[in-house]
Structures are given as structure tokens and as C-alpha cells.
Amino acid sequence: MGAGPGDPGLITLKGVQCLEKADVIVYDRLLDDSLLERARPDAEKIFVGKASSDHTISQSQINRLLVEKAREGKHVIRLKGGDPFVFGRGGEEAAELGKNGITFEVIPGVTSAIAVPAYSGIPVTHRGLASSFTVITGHEDPAKGDSSINWDKLSTGADTLVFLMGMQNLNEIVKKLVEHGRSASTPAAVIKDGTRPSQRTVAGTLLDIVSRVKESGLTPPSIFIVREVVKLRETVRWFEHRPLFGKRVLVTMARHQASVLGKLLIEKGALPVELSAIAIRRIPDNQELRQAFGDLEQYGWTVFTSVNGVAAVFEELMTFKLDSRVFRGTKIAAIGPATLKALEARGIIADYCPSVYTTAGLIEGFRGKDIAGLKILLPRTDIADDELAKGLISMGAEVHEIAVYRTTPDLEAIAMAKEMLLSRRLDVVAFTSPSTVTSLVIALGPGGASLDGVKIACIGPKTAETARKGGLKPDIVAGEHTIPGLVDAIERLFRKVV
């Protein structure tokens, strides 16, 4: 199966359907890790990636592995970057399976040969400029005597030339093209990390492309493209014009939630660095919550203040083989749209959600609901402050707070974040809750990694207040206190700066 050139959205629909059913996934180096999240949790994932100078597992070993896993009666996917039959050695592996009587199918992928230039604003064909294109391996050393590339025909026999894996041999490739008839003034470009937010393009001509690439510091893997179509990049490039293109944003949400923010950032062209500052853990065997389940009809309202709270409560319900019917005698409130959706996914339509998605907004909305004398259940994190409880009590309600999950620092992730901050490799730190701020500030410690030069983005005023108390100066506070609102606020800041 071809995984596409890098952007995980470029995998085929059939590819996704097969990933979801696989027992075993044997995968390569140049893949987006998020593709593996499509697999079943119990699927076996085997990395067999090879770099040009590091073959930790040989091709013959990979072939044997595929045969062995198939003979175990398992549904095996060989996941390869780009298209498996375009310099991916997929043909060799398929032939080996055929020799051993293994039934298989081939699922093509979007090849980097056309996708990467397209993301850089370079069409491989164009009426009046290029009526043909040729894809060539750049991994073969052009200087060797027994080259299988017929350079005298290749150099001028096709319009656009696309070399894959050609960075290490770039100088020799250029020499051969010019030597066999291509003009030194022919436009050329080298593209690294194509289709990803870290994409970089260096353009020039055959005369100067080698020196330009050297000056830029580009490293493999890269694609080398030659022809007048390269000039179209000046007007056709679109990917690099996304509002947050190339910006590195530290996502500090809990690991299992970070992908939501990460996907939105990628759509804007940013490079999310998902290093969670916190870990979320449900409090197991929660006797206090179990007792509340049995008395829910005594509560006038149950108020959910986060997606994590919803998840923890329903996980606990499942351990007792209970479901949403236990809430039939109480009204439900949700602090914002994400929490609303989490409830809806579990069969509950909330009775109330404030128009302003903050604790203050939630309190203000309850002022018109006559809650005096009512019991209110408040399931939340163990480190929640008392602002909401005090606000509801001031209106005459009896509030029962129950810690249903613990929020703890993710020390390994924070150590990685600290290293990135010290090396100045981040543009934005995005905080999505007060707990993410607190965990990061404590972990960095006094005299820790400086956030100078890094924009601080907060999802709402409470998170921003926590940041200020921790000695940080928020540059961005989302007007709408949601993850999409946070991304929009980050985008507006950089549009303004530009």
C-alpha cells in the first residue's frame, strides 16, 4: 500500500479502510506517524525503515517477514511512502509473495514525483511549457561506469525531469544533464519535506542550483525537478502561502487530545509539536462517584466543565455496565461546544451551554435558572479551582464536587519541550487550560528555559491569568474560548505581524 508523499491527508480512502482492519502493519521511514493511529489498538506495528546510509534491516529480511506474517493467517499491510511501485521496491516484495503462494493486492499511493512539486507550486506538465515528464531515480550514482540511465537520450528526450532521492548525487546529476544537452540556464528546484509544514524549496538554474542548495543547508530526502515549469512557482505556489506556514507551535494539551489542535494547525500550514505538558488519568474505583450514580435523581443539575470530565464519568459508568440513562432525572450543563459534542457522542443533549465558554460565563448563565436549594453535581479534575463552586453556592445551590480524573505533569514531554525552547526551535506555545500552564511553568522551574521570543497563546482568560501568575506574558488570548478559536487567534496575530 502506498501511504502518499507525507501529508497524511493524501492517503487513499481504500488505504484508510485497510489500515483499520489490519492485524500487522510493516511500515517505512518516510511516513506521517498519524497514519498509524488509523490502525486498531491491538495491531502489531513493525518498523523496517531504511535510510541511505543505515540499513538496519535488509530487503531480504523484509521479504521474509512479510511471508512469515502472512503464513500466520494475519491480514498484513506493507505500508510504503509515496507509491509502492515508484522506486519503492514494492515490485520486488510483491514478486516474493507471489513466489511463495501468498495472496495479495496492491493499493497505489500518490507519488511524491507529482505531489511534492504540486505543493511547491510547480506543475510537472503545462500547455506550452511541458507536454511530458520523466521520473528518474537520483539514488544511482551518475558517475559510475555501468549506469542504467541513458543520459544522452534522457537529458533532452522529455520536457520535465523529476529526480527522486537525488540530493547526495545532485552535483553529478547536474553535470550529466548539461554534458548531454540541457542548457545551464534551465530552471531547476530542489524541494525538501514536500507536502509537510516543514517544506522548503530552493529554486535556481542548472548553473547555480548546486551552490544554492549548499548555501541553504537542505538535507535529504529531497526532490530535484528540472524544466521551465519551475518558473510557474512564482505565481502558482499555494501551500507556502498558508497563514501559519512553517510556524512551529508547541501543543500542550493532554496527549490523547492534542491531535485535534494539531490537525487544525496543519490546515493553516503550521508544524504542530505535540509534546503534552499534562497527562490525564481517570481515578479508578471511584466510590464517591459510584454513590452519586445511585443518587442522581436528587441532583437538579450535573455540570460538565471539560471533555476529560465527560470521558472519565462515562468510563466509570461502563465499569458498572451503566449508560446515559442514569442521567434521566437531572439536567445537564456543558461549559462549551467541545464538551457538548462529547456528551452528544454518548447520547446526551445538554440542557444548557453558556454563550461565553468560560467559568464566568457558566456562572452568569445560571443566575436566571433559579437554582436555590438545588443539589448540583460537579465532576472535574483533582486540581480544579473553586471559582465555579463558589459562584453556584452564592446563588443558594448545594454543590457536590467530585474529582473524576487526575491532571499530572508529563515530565518526559516537558523535558523535550524545554530542549526545544533552549534551542529556539519554537514560534508559539499554545496553552489550552490552566493546568497545562502550571505543569510547564513548574517543570521549567526558576531560571529554566526562556520563553523570550516565543509567542504565548491562551485559549481563554483563566488560562491567560494563570500564565501571568507564572511569570509569562500572553501575546494571544482567544476571543472564542475553543480550540478553533485559539487557532484563529494565532492566525490573526501572524497576519498582523506580516
Whole-angstrom distance, CA of residue 414 vs CA of residue 427: 16
Most trustworthy range by pLDDT among 50-54, 105-109, 439-443, 452-456: 105-109
Residue 297 clears pLDDT 70, i.e. is over it: yes
**For the chain, how many residues are written?**
498
At residue 172, the pLDDT reads 94
At residue 416, the pLDDT reads 72
CA distances from 354 to 110, 332, 336, 478 (A): 45, 12, 7, 16
Q: Average model confidence (pLDDT) for the chain? A: 90
At residue 311, the pLDDT reads 93
Q: pLDDT tens digits for 456-482?
A: 999 999 999 999 988 889 999 999 999
- Of 69, 80, 159, 165, which one is the catalytic site residue? 165
SS3 of residue 2 by DSSP: strand
The residue-averaged pLDDT of 113-141 equals 93
At residue 271, the pLDDT reads 87
Q: Is 165 a catalytic residue?
A: yes
Q: Is 176 a catalytic residue?
A: no
At residue 56, the pLDDT reads 66
Output the pTM of the full model.
Answer: 0.75
Q: pLDDT tens digits for 253-288?
A: 766 566 788 889 989 999 888 776 677 888 988 889
Phi, psi of 377 (to 5 degrees): -90, 130
- Of 1, 7, 28, 268, which one is the catalytic site residue? 28
CB distance 98 to 45 below 8 Å: no
Q: pLDDT tens digits for 409-424?
A: 676 667 777 777 767 7
Q: pLDDT tens digits for 311-370?
A: 999 999 998 888 999 999 899 999 999 999 999 999 999 999 999 898 999 999 999 899
- Of 50, 74, 175, 341, which one is the catalytic site residue? 50
Listing DSSP states for 204-215 in one string gives EETTTHHHHHHH
Beta strand ranges found along 218-364 (DSSP E): 222-226, 248-251, 271-274, 278-282, 299-304, 331-334
Contacts of 235 (CB under 8 A, 6+ apart): 121
| Chain centroid to CA 249 | 11
Whole-angstrom distance, CA of residue 238 vs CA of residue 242: 7
Map out the domains of the chain with their CATH numbers: 8-109 (3.40.1010.10), 113-237 (3.30.950.10), 248-277+410-497 (3.40.50.10090), 281-408 (3.40.50.10090)
CB distance 138 to 163 below 8 Å: yes
Q: Percent of the chain at pLDDT above 90?
A: 67
The residue-averaged pLDDT of 84-106 equals 95
Whole-angstrom distance, CA of residue 46 vs CA of residue 65: 10
Whole-angstrom distance, CA of residue 385 vs CA of residue 365: 19
Q: Using DSSP bridges, classify how beta strands 187-192 and 200-205 pair: parallel, antiparallel or unpaired.
A: antiparallel
At residue 166, the pLDDT reads 87
Whole-angstrom distance, CA of residue 66 vs CA of residue 28: 13
Question: Among 60-64, 187-191, 381-385, whose mean pLDDT is lowest?
Answer: 381-385
